[in-house]
Amino acid sequence: MSRVGKNPVTVPSGVTVDIAGQELTAKGKLGTLKLVVSNEVAATLEDGKVWVKPKTDSKRARTLWGTTRALVNNMVNGVSKGFTVNLEINGVGYRAAVQGKTLNLQLGFSHEVQFPIPPDVKIVCEKPTSISISGADRQRVGQVAAVIRSYRKPEPYKGKGIKYETETIRRKEGKKK
């Protein structure tokens, strides 16, 4: 039995959930998200709650049960509250700035790295050393943050690079004389 799948997803006020066949749509103040539910599970809307149940007792149905429930929960939370990932830049001369629809990163290369901002994601730089990525789709926000981080991952000796705000870098000791 899935411990995650047993619990229903409560739909907060201001969010509407529509189920048409195998397609589940969530609309809220931050946008609209769609999910095609697998044939192995069934999603129903009862009393302002979305219930996900497996259609059969197969292993695949039981696996998709909890996964689908988590995806629906992320959709409902995304269109109501949204998701945010914060990145920090460490290093002398390393900085970021948003100019129009591009994020300009100066990361110690001979040229600036230009990252085009996707339309479904919002990127803000309060300080030149911090980047805040927000949006309704949790997977999309995390993917954009991972791509930006991949331009200059933090290195273990001085900690220079782009890291997640919650990430801790395991530091190594330098050379001995």
Q: What is the pLDDT of residues 30-87, one digit of tens each?
A: 989 999 998 899 988 888 899 989 988 888 988 889 899 999 999 999 999 999 999 9
- Domains of the chain by range and CATH? 3-80 (3.90.930.12), 83-164 (3.90.930.12)
Contact (Cβ atoms closer than 8 angstroms) between residue 149 and residue 90: no
Query: What is the per-residue pLDDT for 176?
Result: 85
Q: N- to C-terminal Cα distance for the chain?
A: 59
Question: What is the model's pTM?
Answer: 0.87
Averaged pLDDT score across all residues of the chain? 91
Query: What is the per-residue pLDDT for 1?
Result: 63
Is it the case that residue 99 has pLDDT exceeding 70? yes
1 or 89, which is more confident: 89
